[in-house]
Amino acid sequence: MHFQSVTFDLDGTLLDTIADLAEACRRMLEEIGEPPRSQAEVHSFVGKGMAVLVERCLTRERAPTAERLHQAIESFKTHYAAVNGQFTQIYPGVLEGLQAWRESGLKMGVVTNKPGMFTEALLERMGMADYFDVIVSGDTTANKKPHPEPILHACRLFGVRPDRNLHIGDSENDIHAAHAAGCPAFAVPYGYNEGRPVDSADCDALVSDLLAAYRQALTFKTSHDK
């Protein structure tokens, strides 16, 4: 195989966390006296991290003040900590795919925009933490995806060149971050992508699930390999 390591996005790729996020947003908005948002709205707000999710929940005619946003973020943290993993579902093919990747001997990591205080707790609750050698959360580095820094940080921890790391995600943020880091990017079609279908033209392969991603990776060639 061309690859020596693989990194996975979390929300929308490994785990369907929308029900948890929507419930935390509902409780947060109720607590601070703001009108509710539907689960479909929350679905479209996910992708660029917790602070952006909360800001999008609050933004209607105008963006919230910095003070109001801070209040809402602190409220969201409390409520999300209470429900984190409660309604989360593992996507079909994920456990089979992770097992195939692990048996291949590749180094494995998670690169997510979710804050670290929630990432590791969620992986533990879902029984998935032991699959990963490296976890890079939204506050591990100074920048979040679509900036390449989180993926480059994972590659440094692996001791692997970026072009030998495959990143798998569900959104343009993942694809742009991977390509900017010099990594090939596979995408799954079932995630969030801020409410838009992921475009197969943007990624190196559009795969139905993580097991299909593993099979695709077995025959993947870069221009250097051909």
71 and 93 assigned to the same domain: no
Is 224 inside a domain boundary? no
Task: Find out whether 110 and 69 touch, Cβ atoms under 8 Å.
Answer: no
Assigned token pair, 77: 């943290």
Check whether residue 73 and residue 177 sit in a common domain. no
| Residues acting as catalytic residues | 9
What is the tens place of the pLDDT at every residue in 59-116? 998 889 999 999 999 999 999 999 999 999 999 999 999 999 999 999 999 999 999 9
* Same domain assignment for residues 131 and 214: yes
Distance of CA 190 to the CA centre of its chain: 13
The domain of 62 spans 18-83
pTM of the model: 0.91
Of 83, 111, 131, the residue that ends a domain is 83
- What is the domain count for the chain? 2
State the Cα–Cα distance between residues 219 and 103, nearest whole angstrom. Answer: 17
Residues 29-42, mean pLDDT to the nearest whole number: 94
Does 203 map to a domain?
yes
Clarify whether residues 119 and 177 are in a common domain: yes
159 found inside a domain: yes
- The pLDDT tens digits of the residues spanning 165-177 come to 999 999 999 999 9
Q: Which of 45, 62, 83 is the last residue of a domain?
A: 83
Same domain, 94 and 152: yes
HSE, CB side, 13 Å, CA atoms: give it for residue 18.
21
| Mean pLDDT, rounded, for 1-5 | 93
Q: Quick check: 223 pLDDT over 70?
A: no
- What's the Cα-to-Cα distance from 187 to each of 72, 174, 190, 216, rounded to whole Å? 32, 8, 9, 11
Residue 41 resides in a domain: yes
CATH number of the domain residue 95 falls in: 3.40.50.1000
